[in-house]
């Protein structure tokens, strides 16, 4: 059994699609985590929302992300963090409508379009795995990367600036 982070934005990060295919070719059960990229893909930008609204198949943002992973052969188990009963219900419904090779070419084109736009909104390809922690200098590397990337995703920049300022130990470190 192997475990990897995999979603429609980060499919070329870490083990990548080739890793997924290799594991399947060797009969290795594959557990996929971060299919919704730590919740980011469930909270799309207005640009992504427009793509979703125009799609002929009506899905929630989280469902698009989950369906992408379930569509792939070789995925034995999908792990999705859920923080509410509503998320649990949505994921159960999504799972009941999933299957290997169940997405149409049009669905895959929509997902590809979303992925391209998401990647344009990311400066640093950090998955927030925290393997770089602890930093010997006490620097919260993943949190700083997340804040920097989110500056491109969100419309209220002041919230991100406030969060960044809270990470600093003193005004001189800003």
Task: Give residue-wise pLDDT tens across range 119-147.
Answer: 887 778 777 778 889 989 888 898 888 88
Q: What is the pTM of this model?
A: 0.80
Contact 40, 154 (CB under 8 A): no
Q: Supply angle C-alpha 64, 157, 62, rounded to 5.
A: 10
User: Taking the domains of the chain in order of start, what are their residue ranges?
Assistant: 1-121, 123-174
- Residue 171: pLDDT band by 50, 70, 90 thresholds? very low
Report percent pLDDT > 90 for the chain: 51
Pure H helices in the chain: 16-25, 46-54, 61-70, 85-96, 105-120, 141-153, 157-167
Tokens standing for residue 135? 């930093």
Contact 127, 5 (CB under 8 A): yes
pLDDT over 70, % of the chain: 95
Q: State the pLDDT confidence band at 152, using cuts at 50, 70 and 90.
A: confident
Residues 6+ away with beta carbon under 8 Å from 65: 7, 8, 35, 36, 37, 41, 42
User: Looking at residues 61-71, what average pLDDT do you find?
Assistant: 97
Please give the Cα distance from 63 to 130 (Å, whole number).
Answer: 26
Give the pair of three-digit tokens for residue 50. 């427009």
Q: Which CATH class is domain 1-121?
A: alpha beta
What phi and psi, each to the nearest 5 degrees, are found at residue 12?
-110, 15
């Amino acid at each position: 059994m192997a475990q990897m982070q995999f979603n429609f934005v980060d499919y070329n990060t870490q083990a990548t699609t080739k890793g997924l295919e290799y594991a399947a070719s060797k009969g290795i059960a594959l557990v996929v985590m971060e299919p919704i990229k730590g919740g980011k893909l469930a909270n799309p930008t207005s640009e992504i929302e427009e793509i979703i609204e125009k799609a002929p198949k009506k899905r929630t943002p989280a469902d698009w992300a989950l369906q992408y992973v379930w569509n792939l052969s070789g995925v034995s188990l999908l792990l999705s963090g859920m923080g509410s009963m509503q998320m649990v219900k949505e994921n159960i419904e999504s799972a009941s409508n999933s299957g290997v090779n169940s997405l149409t070419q049009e669905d895959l084109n929509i997902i590809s379009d979303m992925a391209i736009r998401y990647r344009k909104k990311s400066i640093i390809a950090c998955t927030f795995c925290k393997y770089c922690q602890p930093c010997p200098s006490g620097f919260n590397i993943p949190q700083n990367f997340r804040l920097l990337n989110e500056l491109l995703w969100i419309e209220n920049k002041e919230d991100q600036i406030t969060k960044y300022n809270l990470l600093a130990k003193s005004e001189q470190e800003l």
